[in-house]
A = this chain, B = another copy of it.
Amino acid sequence: MRSSPGPFSSSSSSSSSSSSSSSSSSCDAPSSCFCGSHWGRKPRSGASWLQSSGRMMQYSPCPVAERSHWDATLRVPTGDFHAVLRDDEAALDWLSALRRVGVVHLKGAGPEPGAVARLAERIGYLRLTFYGPTWQVQDKPLANNVAYTSGKISLHTDYPALHAAPGVQFLHCISSAEEGGESEMVDGFHAAERLRRDDPEAFGTLASVQVDFTDMGTDYCDFLLQAKKSVIEVDAEGRVLRINFNNATRDSVLDLPVDRVQPFYRALRAFVDVLSRPENTVTYGLAPGDVLTFDNWRLLHSRRPYRSRPGQPRHLEGVYLDWDEVMSRLRILRQSVRGNA
């Protein structure tokens, strides 16, 4: 993974990416802004109601606004773990890039557990799930999840078995593998727009057909989850809102009319082909102290099989948050950093 030339800068050579971004955006504000940015301006008159009105008339909380899509040429935005905890401007840069690009690589957290919880508290609070407040990605006996093995994990989004899948995920590397364990990530919004352009029938199928996801077992407590999701979730205007795709939890039964089964598998194959293109894939490895923060409604990520060092199992600690809480912190940081200017 290439390192960024400057903190939180990112770029994509894919010009159609930005076009697909703007085409998928409903935000009338300048593309440099993010949802809620208009909170920050100085009143131009004493009429605070008109001012707030002006704010609202430009403000779009639409979750697909102000995204910049990317491909393999992405330079992943980077930041310093302690800086984002300590400094509001660094935190604002972090969360703005997380929103815009969908992934930010924080460095310098050290190898001690607890870093992801501290980042969650910086924002507000973490989201508890059936896998606990934070979760330990290690090779475990009697694993209740493929993540808790040393095997390969194919490209996926986390937790589609929850109707409300977590919006944001942080992964902190506490101990890396001796061999393997590298990850790949793909911008699911970019891939979905490519599919829409190149195979609109497949896009329409994945945006309309609902498939079952299931997850059962015992961790924080016992659970038995079922959800129906379209793999590409779009809003009433057809804008991509979320990617819901995880073959490890896609149900063994495909609950579709028989005449939809082959079109669904054909469309899923077409989407996986787009996701798997080298031109769309960023490969990265995490070193102890690195924290990958990313948009779980947008990014797909995978893991290669690995072998741990003798006596030192590979260990990542993870946590989930939701976009409501992250956007709330983003708006507050914007106010404090921009000084209402």
Binds B, one of A122-130, A181-189, A193-201: A122-130
Give A332 to B221 CA distance when docked, in angstroms: 11
Chain A interface residues (CB < 8 Å from chain B): 35-36, 39, 49, 52-53, 55-57, 59-63, 124-125, 127-128, 130, 162-164, 208, 212, 220-228, 236, 251-253, 255, 322-325, 327-328, 331-332, 335
- Which single residue of chain B is at the shortest CB-CB distance from A229? B61
Residues of chain B lying within 8 A (CB to CB) of residue A226:
35-36, 59, 61, 327, 331
Report the bound CA distance from A130 to B62 in whole Å.
21
Q: Output the least CB separation between A157 and chain B (Å).
A: 16
Contact A61 B212 (CB under 8 A): yes
Q: Are the CB atoms of A163 and B224 closer together than 8 Å?
A: no
The interface residues of chain B lying within 8 Å CB-to-CB of A332 are: 222-224
New contact pairs (18) apart from A56-B252, A130-B325, CB-CB < 8 Å: A39-B224, A52-B252, A55-B253, A56-B212, A56-B251, A56-B253, A56-B255, A59-B226, A61-B228, A63-B163, A124-B223, A125-B220, A128-B128, A130-B328, A164-B164, A222-B332, A224-B328, A225-B328
Q: A49-B252, A226-B35, A324-B162 are in contact. Are A125 and B125 (CB under 8 A)?
A: no
**A32 vs B49: C-alpha distance when bound (angstroms):** 52
Q: Closest CB-CB distance, A17 to chain B, in whole Å?
A: 25
Please state if B124 and A224 are interface contacts (CB–CB under 8 Å).
no
A-B pairs, 3 with minimum CB distance: A56-B253, A224-B331, A61-B226
Instruction: Tell me the nearest residue of chain B to A124, going by C-beta.
Output: B221
A53: chain B residues within 8 A (beta carbon) = 252-253
Measured between beta carbons, the chain B residues less than 8 angstroms from A60 are 228
Query: Which residues on B sit within 8 Å (CB–CB) of A335?
Result: 224
**Cβ-defined contact, A225 with B324, below 8 A:** yes
Contacts of A63 in B (CB 8 A): 163
Shortest distance from the beta carbon of A56 to any chain B beta carbon, whole Å:
3
Which residues of the other chain, B, contact A124 by a CB distance below 8 angstroms?
A: 130, 220-221, 223
A228 cross-chain contacts in B, Cβ below 8 A: 60-62
- Chain B residues closer than 8 Å to A125, beta-carbon distance: 128, 220-221
19 contacts between A and B (CB under 8 A): A39-B224, A49-B252, A52-B252, A52-B253, A53-B253, A56-B251, A59-B212, A59-B226, A59-B255, A61-B212, A62-B228, A125-B221, A127-B128, A164-B322, A208-B236, A222-B332, A223-B332, A224-B331, A225-B324
